[in-house]
Amino acid sequence: MKSAPDTVLDRRLSAELERLHAANLYRVRRVVEGGHGALIVVEGRRCVNFCSNDYLGLAADPRLAQAARRALDHSGTGSGAAALVSGFNAEHARLEEELADFVGRPRALLFSTGWAANLGVLRALLGRDDTLIADELNHASLIDGGRLSGAHYLRIPHADMRSFENALAESSSANVLKLAVTDSVFSMDGDVADIPALASACGRHGAALMVDDAHGLGVIGDDGRGVLHHRFPPHPSPLTPHSIDVYVATLGKSLGAAGAFVAGSDDLIEFLIQRARSWVFSTAPPPAIAAAARAALGIVRAEPARRERLHANILRFRHGAAALGLALGIDTGSGAASVSTPIQPLVLGDAVRALAVSRVLFERGYWVAAIRPPTVPKGTSRLRITLSAAHTPEQIDGLLEALHAALATVAVSA
């Protein structure tokens, strides 16, 4: 039983928690038993999982677990120290080499999380006289990293190239760094940033470009090699390797493991080794996790059919939703459709309605989390539906049927 708040801090926190409850913005963890694949057991209920970032279905692949077990037997459970002390294991070194080769950059540096990577990069590269020019819908780690850097921070309306261009042109002080930063695939809307236009603008105005490809690696680009190898219409060929100065991606989404990495030039990686505080002062990730990520990378290379199934599943879901009159996505003004990405948001507007529809789906055996402010802007609460290569056509059709019924039920109840 919860006790009554009896300190100044507890009274303050209790009032804020009550406010979140009243606004339907209170968040609750749900316990998952067993693996985190397309089929998942949530608080004892077996569900089809349509809210994971496990886009290629690798999180529950036994080959990753086997690789991790071998590394556990050989290297133990923990790294014991930061990489600059005694924590840099051979598994980490091999993974960095393979990641750099996969994305086509000279070097890569392994971080414990995507959050640590983005904060570490932005705080290391930017000073108070520098300028950060960032899309307003970037991931929270990029937002916080930009704020903590102390640089002049210019937030640009989402995907507004004219505003990016103007900001780059106006930030022209000598001997300072101008850094434009964007997600590649935006995590809540599923649209793709116009990276060729951003790279061209940065080139014209002497700026560097940083891209967080967390939701692109393994999904988009030739052979799943991410945004650096993606063909942006109407451009006939992928970007050049040097189009993106700082490339960040995670290992816990399409690769089904954990952690993140930064890829770029030799000088970039060497500088981050010296100055990225979230890397320098963090214990290195467990070697077994690096081994699992290496196994996943090998599967991505060897099994292109996984990406083909994923994109077939995306199209099946979108066609089925259109047939039911369900409007997916949100008008971002980017001109880039979300057809090619696994993130398919159904925007419901009101947090109460989003929670109600999510609850009905859960009762029918489908787990789709309701996403509410502050994760998304006020008035755009949604179901963030994500597709995986592991979903079957029957599961996708079942979700569509359940969505249609849930929306009708909630509308009647309202």
Q: Which of 178, 215, 230, 391 is catalytic?
A: 215
pLDDT at 174: 66
Domain boundaries, the chain: 25-55+304-413, 62-302
Contacts of residue 49, defined as CB under 8 A and 6 or more positions apart, other chains included, come to 36, 37, 38, 39, 40, 367, 388
If one looks up domain 25-55+304-413 in CATH, what number appears? Answer: 3.90.1150.10
Q: Hey, how many other C-beta atoms are within 10 angstroms of the C-beta on 323? A: 10
Q: Taking the CA atoms of 11, 17, 19 and 21 in sequence, report the sign of the dihedral they define.
A: negative
- Nearest residue to 309 via CA among 342, 337, 333: 342
Q: Which helix or strand (DSSP H or E) is residue 183 part of?
A: strand 178-183
Q: Which of 52, 149, 184, 187 is catalytic?
A: 187
Is 253 a known active-site residue?
Answer: yes
Active site (annotated) includes residue 3? no
- Give the span between the Cα atoms of 214 and 369, in whole angstroms: 20
Residue 84, number of CB atoms within 10 A of its CB: 13
Q: Using alpha carbons, select from 187, 250, 188 the residue that is nearest to residue 217.
A: 250
What pLDDT is attached to residue 412?
57
- For 32-81, what is the HEC assignment? EECCCCCEEEECCEEEEECCCCCCCCCCCCHHHHHHHHHHHHHHCCCCCC
Taking a C-beta distance cutoff of 8 angstroms, is the pair 381, 370 a contact? yes
pLDDT along the chain (414 residues), means of 10: 79 95 91 92 95 97 98 97 97 98 97 98 96 97 96 95 94 82 96 95 96 97 94 83 94 98 98 98 98 98 97 96 90 51 95 95 96 93 97 98 94 58
Residue with tokens 């100044």: 8
What does the DSSP assignment read for 119-177? HHHHHHH--TT-EEEEETTS-HHHHHHHHHHTSEEEEEPTT-HHHHHHHHHH---TT--
- ∠ Cα 268 142 227 (to 5°): 65
Q: Which of 144, 87, 124 is nearest to 262 (CA)?
A: 124
Choosing from 230, 253, 311, 391, the catalytic residue is 253
pLDDT on residue 155: 96
Residue 187 annotated in active site: yes
Between strands 370-371 and 381-386, the pairing is: antiparallel
Residue 80: how many CA atoms within 13 Å on its side-chain side?
Answer: 7
Q: What's the pTM value of the predicted model, to 2 decimals?
A: 0.94
CATH architecture of 62-302: 3-Layer(aba) Sandwich (3.40)
